[in-house]
Structure 1
Amino acid sequence: MRKEVNYAGEVLRNELATSTELQSAGKTLKIWRMNHKKAIDKLTNQIYPILHESGILACRIKRLPSIIGKLRRYPNIKLSKMQDVVGIRVILPNIQAVYEFDEVLGLSNIVRHRDYIKTPKTTGYRGIHRIYQFNQDSDPIHIELQIRTQQQHLWATAVEMTGLVLGIGDDIKTQASSDDWLEFFALVSSAFARLEGTARVAQHENLSELELNEAIARLDERLGALTQLQAVEPVGTRVVLVDGDWQLLGLDRQRLTVDCLDWEPAVQRYEELERDLLSDQQLVLVKVRLDKLRLAYPNYFLDIQPFVKQLHQRS
């Protein structure tokens, strides 16, 4: 199926493709996304027995518009080799727990390992990334596993929430937002790294603690960052307990709706909602223990206050 998937990717990348071509390619993409289920089960079954008692295991299925957007942003990527169609995340209490888990998990089925804690990205992103490859009917399926601390998770989800609340969308993550906001979050990441005893972002290595805090304060004053973030209120939540361990999260500006479904009806409903998604709505299909949902995906609750509190306590 690899050839069909890659051809579908080329069609979806082409903004001049006909509606008939897009419809056929979209169908192939949906089948490809569904085919990740066995690989999800294989990897999560490896993780559960060794997961720290306070750890969180969460799985996210990438939305079709996000997949198409990534194909268009990165013209050389092949759809069959896209590594984050499925993203699995493990959130642990501290740095020691992260490295112990990473070591115990081993290297079986690993095709790439990146430590963005020892070498943070220039944006300030920190965490360990592992790319897995599982063979399914002779076709390789790739899954991305992110391992991060609770503090790193606060930072990463705050970036997403800030983009959403300020109308920037995912632009902060894709580095298309203002330079000031990018630098603000990079500086905050370096401040958080100091608290965890890990490497700062490269461009901040030579800053003293005082200089780092002064740089954050200057940007905060220029952007009104803390004032804007403190004004964000979590949305109300309606949980629809149907039957299943996958959660379909739908967020508008007033409310988060959570539908709990089995895999196949969840994906089917996901596809239906993707077609009619409005610009001010957010949608994602995830799997996590229901009592851990808010901790795993605070961005869908617009729950940014724990990040703001940590920012106040950084010094």
Structure 2
Amino acid sequence: MQRLSTRGNDTRWLNATARLAARGRPTSRPNPAVGCLIVKDGTVVGRGWTRAGGRPHAEAAALEEAGDLAAGAIAYVTLEPCAHVSPRGPACADLLREAGVARVVVGSPDPDPRTAGEGVARLRDAGIKVDILPTPEVGDSLAGYLTRARLSRPFVTLKLAVSLDGQIATASGESQWITGEVARAHVHSRRAMHDAILVGGGTWRVDQPRLDVRLAGLEHQSPRRVLLSRGIAPDGVTVINTPSQIERLDEVQYLYVEGGAQTAGSFLAEDLVDRIELYRAPILIGKGRSALGDIGLESLADAHGRWTLTERRQLGSDSFEAYSRSRPEEN
């Protein structure tokens, strides 16, 4: 499919659509969280995102809101409109065609073989102009779905909460709490955006974490609990024996890894971490317990060029930074 040069307005609308898509995470599973905006004469007349359980799709919701105003409008959608009819709903490419939109701007082709290229072809066959305009924001909004399609595993975020000197606990093992209330609330909001949350066996036995979401109104979005261990699975918990077995976590697009140090190190050693979310408290611990175990690094030169800072903010007295993994095949 054709890739067109970036256009300022199209990029702005697509990035807004990507932010809208976030409302669908993670409840849209097993479908990707997609966003759609219907724009006419510079005004949004319809907006939609993938709803809980995957239906309705973003395009269907946006077209329903737009009604007759969709005729002659531009549809911005983060993922190529689906081309397959499901018992749960019609193909979005057909809905857009029937609504009479004049143009569709797509942020990402769909790797699903039932649609790949067919959604765009069906629209073009109907005389609708279609532009493919990838943006980093759209890629980020579909990261779990695209990682599943490309690597057959979830998109993995590693969360670390450390002191200024990189410790996660005192020498005696005391770790609650390194960060303050604002940062901890932010962690719970991040948990709510993930399909599953994973800790190692040591953390499970020592800390007995609840691994849920404790923010008012979001309790129902507590992620599936996963334990990296060779022991027997506790009630309500999925056990995997090695980091590579995350590919077995059905319908998990976004995996949140919280620790401890050996678990974090093992995921990094196998290059399975796509994003690091680092919370840093303004305290010094000195002799304590490091945030990471062995990550398999043999040369300092190999440590450079792997991580790119993508986000930074202040959370009360603590700082937050997010880093994305830079992989040569993605450049």
TM over 0.5: no
Q: Which has the larger radius of gyration?
A: 2
TM-score, scaled relative to structure 1: 0.29
Choose between structure 1 and 2: higher strand proportion.
2
Choose between structure 1 and 2: higher helix proportion.
1
